[in-house]
Amino acid sequence: MQNKFTEERINSIMESLGGMQPAVAPDFFYTRLKGKMQPASEKKTFLLLRPAFITATLGVLLIINVFSLLQTAKAPKQDSTVVYSKPATIESFATAYDMNTGSVYE
Amino acid sequence: MTEQELLFGLRHGEESAFKELVTQFQDKVFNTALGLLQHHTEAEDIAQEVFIQVYRSIQNFKGESLLSTWIYRITVTKSLDHLRSKKRKKRFGFLSNLFGDNNIPLYEPEDFNHPGILQEKKEDAAMLFKLIELLPENQRIAFILNKVEELSYREIAAILDTTESAVDSLLQRAKQNLRKKLTELPP
């Protein structure tokens, strides 16, 4: 490949960093640094109020609710041997538990 | 203030010690970050992050190396992490362009001019900095620490946790690579 640089030019480029002065930090560096450090601690304090945290919490609660509802809906189906033909009365309850023997005073 | 006094103050959360530390090291940290990142604003951000990291993890500093070595090491690590993250963003940059992103390009390639370069050498130095970016990571770090921050082989070896001869080898290879890249530049 044709090269546009002579050896002398290459040397000049290679030595271009010679005699350079180090860069100095911008003015008010410490003030800006303190400013950057301050919000970091404040943000931690108000974590509970951050929209991302609130949304995530509500999301988790919603998932728990839906899961609980699904579980509740499934529950009666598992107990399919019991037939609810009519509402329970005191008499039916007494019959079911064999409590129709009469009062002890009889 | 001696290094031991500085460390004592920092470990006890004294603001005066932290201010002293920043005053002592801000130029070194900024200059190193600027050499590696070749971007003023990013170098300032990284320099600030370095001091925040030092403030938070001073309790973990065991004193096995010099404080300056530890701070340089953090600077190099943070600068390289930033460059890697920048590269990752660049890879997915086209997606941002597809989805709008206010039509602001993520990267605007421009010639980097180090403020400490002599006026008559600015053009050559800008070209050299462009090629430095293409060097392998270790060679780039060694070259910047040696040429931009003017650290000795011993100091660079301590920062990179290697030997002085390894640093010498890295610098030789960096120079060879730069020369090679210069000869390969298209007309």
Interchain CB distance below 8 Å, A20 and B118: yes
Shared domain for B101 and B115, answered yes or no, is: no
In whole angstroms, give the CA distance from residue B175 to residue B64.
Answer: 32
In whole angstroms, give the CA distance from residue B77 to residue B68.
Answer: 14
Shared domain for B98 and B34, answered yes or no, is: yes
At B30 the three-state DSSP class reads helix
The domain tally of chain B equals 2
Nearest residue to B148 via CA among B53, B28, B13, B67: B28
pLDDT confidence of residue A80: 52
In whole angstroms, give the CA distance from residue B34 to residue A29.
Answer: 15
CATH number for the domain including B176? 1.10.10.10
In whole angstroms, give the CA distance from residue B81 to residue B67.
Answer: 21
Shared domain for B103 and B27, answered yes or no, is: yes
Show Cβ contacts of residue B68 under 8 Å, excluding neighbours closer than 6 positions: B25, B28, B155
Q: What is the DSSP string of B50-111?
A: HHHHHHHHGGG--SSS-HHHHHHHHHHHHHHHHHHHHHHHHHTHHHHHHT-GGG--S-----
pLDDT confidence of residue A44: 59
- Which one of A7, A28, A30, A33 makes the best mutation probe of the B interface by having the most chain B beta carbons within 10 Å? A33
Of B91, B110, B129, the position where a domain reaches its end is B110
Residue B159: band (very low, low, confident or very high) from pLDDT cuts 50, 70, 90: very high
Residue A76: band (very low, low, confident or very high) from pLDDT cuts 50, 70, 90: low
Residue A102: band (very low, low, confident or very high) from pLDDT cuts 50, 70, 90: low
Q: Buried b vs exposed e over A23-42: b needs ≥16 C-beta within 10 Å?
A: bebeeebbebbbeeeeeeee
Show Cβ contacts of residue B23 under 8 Å, excluding neighbours closer than 6 positions: A30
Residue B170 has pLDDT above 60, yes or no: yes
pLDDT-wise least confident of A5-19, B19-33, B104-118, B138-152: B104-118
Taking residues B35-53, report their average pLDDT: 96
Of B87, B110, B133, the position where a domain reaches its end is B110
Q: Is A41 on the interface with B (CB under 8 A)?
A: no
Shared domain for B81 and B130, answered yes or no, is: no
pLDDT confidence of residue A50: 80
Mean pLDDT computed over every residue of chain B: 90
Interchain CB distance below 8 Å, B185 and A24: no
In whole angstroms, give the CA distance from residue B163 to residue B144.
Answer: 17
Shared domain for B124 and B161, answered yes or no, is: yes
Show Cβ contacts of residue B21 under 8 Å, excluding neighbours closer than 6 positions: B6, B10, B51, B54
Shared domain for B41 and B132, answered yes or no, is: no
In whole angstroms, give the CA distance from residue A10 to residue A16.
Answer: 10
Q: Is A39 on the interface with B (CB under 8 A)?
A: no
pLDDT confidence of residue A72: 86
Beta carbons of B53 and B70 less than 8 angstroms apart: no
Shared domain for B91 and B158, answered yes or no, is: no
CB atoms within 10 A of CB B19: 14
Shared domain for B103 and B122, answered yes or no, is: no
pLDDT confidence of residue A47: 72
Of B88, B110, B132, the position where a domain reaches its end is B110
Chain B residues in contact with chain A using a Cβ-Cβ cutoff of 8 Å: 19, 22-23, 26-31, 34, 40, 43-44, 47-48, 51-52, 55, 114-118, 121, 124-125, 127-128, 147-150, 175, 178-179, 182-187
Shared domain for B28 and B74, answered yes or no, is: yes
In whole angstroms, give the CA distance from residue B175 to residue B179.
Answer: 6
Residue A85 has pLDDT above 70, yes or no: no
The domain in which residue B64 lies consists of 1-110
Interchain CB distance below 8 Å, B184 and A3: yes
pLDDT confidence of residue A99: 74
Beta carbons of A23 and B114 less than 8 angstroms apart: yes
Percent of chain B with pLDDT over 90: 75
Picking from A13, A19, A32, the nearest residue to B182 by CB comes out as: A13
Beta carbons of B124 and A16 less than 8 angstroms apart: yes
pLDDT confidence of residue B109: 57
pLDDT confidence of residue B103: 53
Interchain CB distance below 8 Å, A1 and B128: no
Shared domain for B104 and B93, answered yes or no, is: yes
Percent of chain A with pLDDT over 90: 34
Taking residues B114-120, report their average pLDDT: 89
pLDDT confidence of residue A81: 56
Q: What is the ipTM of this complex?
A: 0.82
Q: In this predicted model, what pLDDT tens digit does every residue of B60-112 receive, in sequence order?
A: 998 889 999 999 999 999 999 999 998 888 777 656 665 555 555 555 557 88
In whole angstroms, give the CA distance from residue B156 to residue B26.
Answer: 18
